[in-house]
């Protein structure tokens, strides 16, 4: 029964019959990544991130920070476009507290300005810049050299081992105030690793690359119920996570591995689109 549900949902995504606001690019049964095409143009050009470029990697982290605020991708996508267009895509700008305060003060105005620069932006509800997404940008910038050094090391590895990936994720998790509201980043850490994997920049294990956000959790609950938690977690994941005293962290990555065992290199995308597939009568 579970296998049948998985195959139907996978086919809904792979066949490309579902109309989505953001293009879901699939090639040879593999997802090509969210940031490879945001689905809109910025100042007349298709907007995407090239993760071989360090400024764009910085923007990937900014996306994760902004998206951690809530489940609306539109806010995070527009925020990244704003940073790119106004050349606020480097740590230097955000290290200055006066710049952070200026952005907080002008959040509504900034959102209106960038909306004039984007085309074909099919948002579900009017985007907004929450004021608490700006302070974490300073935190990111203060830690950027160390984060970049860790990424460069991982990039040098032909295959990133599970323990290396979890260690990197934990490094991000342990940075205070890296998420809005003075919180720590967690749910969107797999997004960072997934996008770097999809663009073949860093070969993170797929098991750590599935995003378990509220939308995915709701899909898991409706689609699989208790069957999902009964799925086997590999000894490698159990062993690596057993030494970490952070139950929320352990839960995210156990669920990530379970999702990857079901959907492979489609990652969490079928579950992210589950309710849309259902509403369209495709499953």
Mean pLDDT for each consecutive 10-residue tract of the chain (283 residues)?
87 86 86 93 94 98 91 88 97 97 96 94 83 97 98 94 97 97 96 98 97 94 90 89 94 96 96 92 85
Q: Which residues touch 233 (CB under 8 Å, ≥6 apart)? A: 254, 257, 258
Residue 8: name the closest of 231, 260, 281 by CA. 281
Number of domains in the chain: 1
Domain that holds residue 15: 2-279
Q: Flag whether the pTM goes above 0.85.
A: yes
Q: Which residues touch 80 (CB under 8 Å, ≥6 apart)? A: 38, 49, 59, 62, 63, 66
Q: Which residues touch 131 (CB under 8 Å, ≥6 apart)? A: 104, 107
Task: Determine the pLDDT at residue 70.
Answer: 67
Task: Determine the pLDDT at residue 84.
Answer: 97
Q: Which residues touch 10 (CB under 8 Å, ≥6 apart)? A: 263, 266, 270
- What digits encode the pLDDT tens for the residues 41-71? 998 999 999 999 999 999 999 999 999 976 6
- What digits encode the pLDDT tens for the residues 90-129? 999 999 999 999 999 999 999 999 999 999 988 777 888 9
What is the Cβ-side half-sphere exposure of residue 242, based on CA atoms within 13 angstroms?
Answer: 7
């Amino acid at each position: 029964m579970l296998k049948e549900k998985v195959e139907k949902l996978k086919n809904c995504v792979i066949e490309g019959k579902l109309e989505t606001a953001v293009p879901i690019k699939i090639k040879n049964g593999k997802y090509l990544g969210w940031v490879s095409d945001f689905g809109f143009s910025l100042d007349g050009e298709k907007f995407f991130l090239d993760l071989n470029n360090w400024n764009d990697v910085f923007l990937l982290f900014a996306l994760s920070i902004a998206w951690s605020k809530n489940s609306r991708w539109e806010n995070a996508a527009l925020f990244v476009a704003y940073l790119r267009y106004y050349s606020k895509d480097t740590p230097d700008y955000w290290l200055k507290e006066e710049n952070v305060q200026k952005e907080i003060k002008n959040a509504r105005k900034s959102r209106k300005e960038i909306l004039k620069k984007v085309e074909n932006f099919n948002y579900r509800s009017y985007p907004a810049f929450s004021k608490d997404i700006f302070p974490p940008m300073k935190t990111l910038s203060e830690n950027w050299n160390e984060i970049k050094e860790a990424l460069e090391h991982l990039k040098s590895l032909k295959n990133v081992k599970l323990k290396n990936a979890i260690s990197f994720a934990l490094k991000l998790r342990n940075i205070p105030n890296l998420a809005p509201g003075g919180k720590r980043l967690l749910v969107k850490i797999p997004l960072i690793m997934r996008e770097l994997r999809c663009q073949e920049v860093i070969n993170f294990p797929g098991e750590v690359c599935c995003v378990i956000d509220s939308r995915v959790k709701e899909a898991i609950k409706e689609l699989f119920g208790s069957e999902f938690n009964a799925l086997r977690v590999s000894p490698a994941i159990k062993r690596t996570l057993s030494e970490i005293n952070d139950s929320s962290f352990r839960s995210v990555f156990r669920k990530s591995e379970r999702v990857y065992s079901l959907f492979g290199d489609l990652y969490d995308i079928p579950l992210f689109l589950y309710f849309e597939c259902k509403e369209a009568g495709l499953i």
